[in-house]
């Protein structure tokens, strides 16, 4: 371009004016940012941003405060479904303890708070379409006359829990192994999963006396169950003044049996708690520190400071910490929360009953023992998760509150096909023998596996 004097003079005059304009714009923008920051910091808009990133739920004011054990930097994951977002960060501090709370206007779903809604679509299987149901859980086969308990689905507050897709699960778990570790309620959940999956592919039993193992040929998926009633080390031999036959529960040592197989599992679902109501002796560092339905001799000098509830919390902490620290375990460890029972009018062995319950309760059925066991489980999990490395993939699947509404979901007196079994109260009001701990199949327990699939789908 040519350099004529008039043009150069115009350019020279324009440069200062242009620079002045820029300076004025920058100053104005700075003032705007400062004012906006002050306003946002005190406004609901800013609060919603906090809610999204810190997972705060202002809409659930009645929720209990975070236990002190979660006050540190490393916090366990209370699983949050993210239907339209990438896989969540794994690790014990992936989200806040209270991150299972629903966050308004965010893609986070509170899976564990909601309501039961009637579903005319019916259950995922029937007692006739699944040959794998344990007879004690086959409520329809055992003569239970009502069926509506099969037709209720869990509806989280601000999202939908997808109906279980057996093909999706098998594809997600292609070439992988999922293990259930725990007591008979854990077995109950495993059998529910098998019943759902066998509607798509019938598994082959490849188990042994040491381990139940089911293999789905279509996707080379394996489902395993390992019995571990305490999740920690147990011995029966005499110990000091504790006699032979009474379980010695070593609260600071994990159950070596399931730990031996842990590296083989891609997903492990652990649960426990109900065996802590049984006679047992509690041991820490090789020393007896307490017991349940057992007392030392009168002349024995022992500090019985640990009861069964405290013992449960310590056992959970030990199991979680040991799994997180295992050098060869790279899978996902999911701890299912305490499963509520619904014995009314007494304990399971003292006339408790759930006879006549045919639909979900309209109000949460509170049980003091269930509440405190759940609290100890949460705090034990939290203490261990705080100590875990960031690469640990720990999830707490909290079903306790949701299933407090389902006294109708238990077998009750329909525990066996015996045509002569008692199913009604006696002449003096005494209830018949019944099971208000385990769950009918099909029934509410199938929801546990819908929650399980939702968790797994965000990781594979």
**Mean pLDDT, the chain cut into blocks of 10 residues (460 residues total):** 41 43 49 42 34 30 32 41 32 30 50 96 97 96 97 95 97 98 98 98 92 97 97 96 95 98 98 97 97 93 95 98 97 98 84 91 94 98 95 96 98 93 83 93 98 94
The answer to whether the pTM exceeds 0.85 is no
In the set 233, 337, 438, 446, the catalytic residue is: 438
In the set 184, 359, 379, 457, the catalytic residue is: 184
438 classed as catalytic: yes
Tokens of 423: 């199913």
In the set 255, 266, 408, 435, the catalytic residue is: 435
> Residue 115: how many CB atoms within 10 A of its CB?
14
Is residue 389 a contact partner of residue 330, using CB atoms and an 8 Å limit?
A: no
In 14-24, which positions are buried (b, 16+ CB within 10 angstroms) versus exposed (e)?
eeeeeeeeeee
Is residue 323 a contact partner of residue 332, using CB atoms and an 8 Å limit?
A: no
Task: Give the full edge-to-edge strand order of the sheet including 232-235.
Answer: 232-235, 247-254, 280-284, 287-292
Q: Which pLDDT score is estimated for 169?
A: 98
Q: Which pLDDT score is estimated for 350?
A: 75
> Residue 89: how many CB atoms within 10 A of its CB?
11
184 classed as catalytic: yes
Q: Which pLDDT score is estimated for 27?
A: 52
Q: Which pLDDT score is estimated for 28?
A: 53
CATH class, domain 112-456, is alpha beta
């Amino acid at each position: 371009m040519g350099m004529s004097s008039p043009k150069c003079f115009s350019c020279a005059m324009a440069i200062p004016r242009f620079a002045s304009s820029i300076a004025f714009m920058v100053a104005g923008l700075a003032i705007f940012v400062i004012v906006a920051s002050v306003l946002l910091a005190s406004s609901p808009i800013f609060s919603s941003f906090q809610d999204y990133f810190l997972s705060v739920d202002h809409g659930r004011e009645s929720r209990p405060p975070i236990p002190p054990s979660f006050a540190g930097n490393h916090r366990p994951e209370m699983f949050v479904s993210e239907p339209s977002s990438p896989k969540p960060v794994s690790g014990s501090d992936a989200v806040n303890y209270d991150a299972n709370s629903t966050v308004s206007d965010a893609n986070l779903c509170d899976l564990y708070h909601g309501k039961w809604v009637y579903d005319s679509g019916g259950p995922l299987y029937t007692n006739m379409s699944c040959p794998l149901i344990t007879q004690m859980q086959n409520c329809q086969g055992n003569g239970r006359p009502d069926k509506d308990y099969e037709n209720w689905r869990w509806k989280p507050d601000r999202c939908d829990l997808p109906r279980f897709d057996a093909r999706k699960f098998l594809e997600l778990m292609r070439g992988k192994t999922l293990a259930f570790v725990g007591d008979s309620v854990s077995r109950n959940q495993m059998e529910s999963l098998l019943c759902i999956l066998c509607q798509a592919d019938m598994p082959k039993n490849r188990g042994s006396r040491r381990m139940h193992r089911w293999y789905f040929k279509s996707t080379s998926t394996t489902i395993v169950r390992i019995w571990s009633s305490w999740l920690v080390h147990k011995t029966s031999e005499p110990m000091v003044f504790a006699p032979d036959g009474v379980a010695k529960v070593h609260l600071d040592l994990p159950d070596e049996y399931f730990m031996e197989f842990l590296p083989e599992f891609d997903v492990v679902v652990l649960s426990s708690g109900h065996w802590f109501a049984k006679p047992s002796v509690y041991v820490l560092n090789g020393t007896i520190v307490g017991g349940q339905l057992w007392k030392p001799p009168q002349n024995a000098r022992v500090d019985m400071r640990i009861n069964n509830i405290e013992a449960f919390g310590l056992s959970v902490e030990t199991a979680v910490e040991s799994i997180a620290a295992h050098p060869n375990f790279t899978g996902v460890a999911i701890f299912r929360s305490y499963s509520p029972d619904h014995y009314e009018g007494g304990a399971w062995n003292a006339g408790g009953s759930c006879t006549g319950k045919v639909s979900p309760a309209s109000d949460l059925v509170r049980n003091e023992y269930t509440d405190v066991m759940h609290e100890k489980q949460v705090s034990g999990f939290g203490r261990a998760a705080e100590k875990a490395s960031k690469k640990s993939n720990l999830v707490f699947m909290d079903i306790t509150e949701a299933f407090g509404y389902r006294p109708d979901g238990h077998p009750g007196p329909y525990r066996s096909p015996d045509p002569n079994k008692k199913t009604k109260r006696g002449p003096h009001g005494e209830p018949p023998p019944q099971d208000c701990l385990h769950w009918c199949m099909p029934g509410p327990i199938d929801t546990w596996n819908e929650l399980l699939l939702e968790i797994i789908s965000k990781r594979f």
